[in-house]
Structure 1
Amino acid sequence: MMRKKILFSYYSMDIGGSTTSLLSLMNNLNPEKYDMYLILYRNTGALLPYIPKHVTVLKPAVKEKNVWQNIKKMCRILFSSTLYKGLFYQIKHKEKKYPVTLFSEMQAKYLSRKINMKFDVAIGGMEGWSDKYIAYRVDADIKMAWFHSLFSKISETPKLERDWIERITYIVNISKACEYDFLNCLPQYSEKCIIIKNMLSQQLVSERADEIIQDKEYEEWKKYKGFKVITVARLDPAKALYRVIKCAIILKEKKYDFKWMIIGDGGEKETLQQMVIENNLEQHVLLVGAKMNPYPFMKESKVFCLTSHYEGTPVTVKESMMLGVIPVVTRYKSVTDQIDNRRTGIVVENEDTTVADALCELYNCEELQNEIRNQLINMIFDEKATIHCVDEILKNK
């Protein structure tokens, strides 16, 4: 029986939940059944060393050419139908900006090289370039585009997405809530939709959490004996991290012995730092930037907190649960798929200071802490369903 060829496309191996999910999927597919390949737009990112050895990493998709070839490339974009599709949309909807989604389409169609290989299946690991690249530049019998977030939040112009979606075999959403949101935008593609939950290897998470790291901030975090709350997230508006400051003010006013660490980088960093200083929270809220391995920090924490306005099915919540760290999250559409409220975590209403109430309760009730932590420690995270879905798709090819 011939081994089938799978291509994964992904932008870069930067730290993030979807990257961890991709690594887990590549680690758990049987290398005796499949020849696996990975193409990145750029072969960069802190998690490059974690790519499994049985996966062949191809040359990057971005075409690094000389000046003349770059001029030709820009001319192709200037005279492309994609560019004018966006301009016509902007003229028709005068109040709208140029559709951001078309930039990743141009990047996939005109700035990325085609692979001279045929694959049984090509999997776009994330919305944006990864999915559009397999639509336009890859020859495969089956093409699977993966959405890790709510489609309505990542595309303000669903009608302009139809061209590349027509070229895709399956639209993979990671939860029922995400699929419902997608079909609310583009109901005509219901037959393409399937649900495959995010793959996450408990073994991989545990191994990385036990790695020895040389980091002064980690040593200080480990030594601190107070109430430790951690948030691992991009510092962007969707994560609503200003809520951390508002909640920290409440905890400080109650004179609680706590520290709240935020791991991550992004455009909101300066604003958050300024809020920390203005509210004299330097001893309580720690903005430490991105960490190559955040898991040891998570493992040393009592609570993992997510304050987002909205989420798809956040991988970091599952990671915290695997490490026995209590998740406290604002309500998002798929939250009941992940957390059994007050049993395996705490879910609060999606408002600015509701997280503070849950943290106060946990701070004052060690019994509740222990009950939830014991549930998490005894949970079994079975990822076989995800592998089975991919196997079945390939089997029925």
Structure 2
Amino acid sequence: MKKKLLFVIPSLDAGGAEKSLINLLIQFDFQKYEVDLFLFKNSGLFLNSLPKEVKIISHQDCSVDFQLGILKSCLRYLSKFDFRLLKARIQFFLANRFIANKAVSEQKSWKYICKSIPTLDTKYDCAISYLEKSSLYFVVDKVNASNKIGWIHTNYATSGMKPEFDAPYFNNLNHIVTISEACVASLVHFFPRMERKISQIENIVSPKIIQDLAQLENDFKFDIQGVNILTVARLSTEKGIDLAVETCTILVKNNPTIKWFVIGDGPDRYNLEQQIKVNKLENNFFLFGLKANPYPYIKAATIYVQPSRYEGKSIAVDEAKILKKPIIVTNFSTAKDQIESGENGIITEMNPNALANSILQLIENRELMDKFSLNLGHEKLDNEDQIYKLYDLIDATK
């Protein structure tokens, strides 16, 4: 008999964890496992990429009112005389409005929003939260499963989360998974008593799939005579796109042919658009928005740059490595897990001047670019065997 599994993630919007989940499920053994996927929001760029064997389940109708705007939501609960959820909705609003730290806000908000979410009826052999915070809390509080696994896709030290909030939830997991050695060390530092249940499973990337998709046509052609820099990232503070704009301002003073393209979307789009205008970079810095297939763009780019302030482990960098692009990354805490500076890319300091200098160094040194590409061609970048580590955790008995 197949084991019944549940994966939980907020949505399938474009993001590293979301793409990682799709890559994992594409490789999954559906002869051995029956897989449900719970989404808080049944939407996202990767929704159509799910294998047909995966059954999507989402919020029941009783939580719809909670997701409305504050005024509409409160009026609905008042009309139903549901003062318990009315109070929870107001508390949820206040927690999100007056707590500046978004990670802490999501943590504290859970105790309010969870009141609108029923416990799932189905009994699972294993439930897997594929993202930290709400997904993980949902698995602990709302899912009946013999085995519970929580995935942390970030370096806990730079996540902004409060360990004292997470500790009781982590205690209720059978296994905690994270994506790199640095992320393992960070979790062990904050939760030393849980070291035995913490393990590493890398984000799965498939070189064959990426290389095949990179051959497809895209809707934009780079100027092959110019310098085309590419970044794939969410438009949010941690990804450092504002640093990229400042860096581009420096670069165009030295080389006006430089153009920098960003694939991705997010909450900082408006601020970045204004920053581009202020710096008069409308002809040099472009926000491309989301692309279901970013690989032809990566393949065509001159250089791939990841200007992040922090990363768990960047899937986009791994994908650029597979396509043998010269890569520059900022010195975020896990950068050395992916790049050996001077051998297969450059790790530079996290400021516009240092980043600009590294980019100019690479542009002016064709031999160095060729060296990076050649060395990347010799690396073993196929890690699809990582899925067997997950199978071991799923099949582990208590």
TM-score by length of 1: 0.87
The CA deviation string for residues 151-171 of structure 1, in whole angstroms up to 9 with x for no partner, is: 233344221223322221111
Cα drift, residue 359 of structure 1? 1.0
Letter matched to residue 158 of structure 1: P
1:172-212 residue CA offsets vs partner (Å, 9 max, x unmatched): 11112112222333333223211111122223333433344
Distance 2:293 2:252 in 1: 29
Change (3 A) 1:62 1:341: farther
Q: Which residue of 2 aligns with 1:31?
A: 30
Matching of residues 208-247 of structure 1 within 5 Å: 208-213=213-218, 215=219, 218-219=220-221, 221=222, 223-247=223-247
The code of the aligned residue for 2:84 comes to C
Match of 2:337 in 1: 337
In structure 1, stretches of 5+ residues that fail to align are: none
1:262 matched residue in structure 2:
262
Confirm or deny that 1:54 pairs with 2:59.
Answer: no
* Aligned residue number for residue 289 of structure 1: 289
**d(CA) in 2 for partners of 1:185, 1:325:** 36
Q: Which residue identity lines up with residue 24 of structure 2 in the other structure?
A: L
Matched letter for residue 141 of structure 2: Y
Q: Greater shift after overlay, 55-64 or 380-389?
A: 55-64
Equivalent position amino acid for 2:318 in 1: K
Aligned with 2:352: secondary structure? coil
SS in structure 1 of the partner of residue 157 of structure 2: helix
Matched, 1:362 2:362: yes
Out of 63, 66, 84, which is 1:75 matched to? 84
The answer on 1:106 being equivalent to 2:90 is no
Contact 1:101 1:155 in 2 (8 A): no
Give the conservation status (yes or no) of the 8 Å contact 1:148–1:312: yes
Q: Which amino acid aligns with 2:296?
A: P
Deviations 1:268-314 (A, max 9, x none): 22332222222222221112223333222222112111112222111
Find the residue that maps to 2:177 and give its secondary structure.
strand
Backbone CA RMSD of aligned residues: 3.0
In 1, distance between residues paired with 2:173 and 2:82? 25
- Distance change (3 Å), C-alpha of 1:253 and 1:280: same
CA distance in 2, matches of 1:238, 1:377: 30
| Distance in 2 of aligned mates of 1:258 and 1:208 | 26
Are the aligned partners of 2:149 and 2:176 in contact in 1 as well (CA < 8 Å)?
yes
Q: Give the Cα–Cα distance (whole angstroms) in 1 for the partners of residues 2 and 187 of structure 2.
A: 33
Asked if structure 1 preserves the Cα contact closer than 8 Å seen for 2:235 and 2:241, the reply is yes
Deviations 1:324-353 (A, max 9, x none): 222210112222221122222111123332
Partners of 2:79 and 2:188 lie apart in 1 by 39
> For residues 358-390 of structure 1, what are the alpha-carbon distances to aligned partners after superposition, in whole Å with 9 as ceiling and x for unaligned?
211111111111121122234332324421211
Equivalents in 1 of 2:270, 2:139: separation in Å? Answer: 36
Percent identity over the alignment is 26
SS of residue matched to 2:260: strand
Match runs of 1:200-215 below 5 Å:
200-213=205-218, 215=219
Sort the Cα spacing of 1:46 and 1:357 in 2 relative to 1 into closer, same or farther, 3 A: same
The aligned counterpart of 1:348 is 348
The alpha carbon displacement at 1:10 in A equals: 1.0
Matches within 5 A, 1:270-285: 270-285=270-285
Q: Could you say if the C-alpha distance between residues 161 and 155 of structure 1 is closer, same or farther in structure 2, counting changes exceeding 3 Å? A: farther
Which among 128, 142, 146 is matched to residue 151 of structure 2? Answer: 146
2:41 is aligned to 42
1:135 aligns with 2:140: yes
Question: Take 2:239 and 2:232, find their aligned partners in 1: how far apart are those partners?
Answer: 10
Q: CA deviation at 1:50?
A: 0.2
Counterpart for residue 12 of structure 2: 13
Alignment length (residue pairs): 383
Q: Contact conserved, 1:22 with 1:125, CA < 8 A, in 2?
A: yes
- Deviation of residue 38 (structure 1)? 0.9
Q: Tell me which amino acid in the other structure corresponds to 1:30.
A: D
Q: Secondary structure at the match of 2:273?
A: helix
**TM-score with structure 2 setting the length:** 0.86
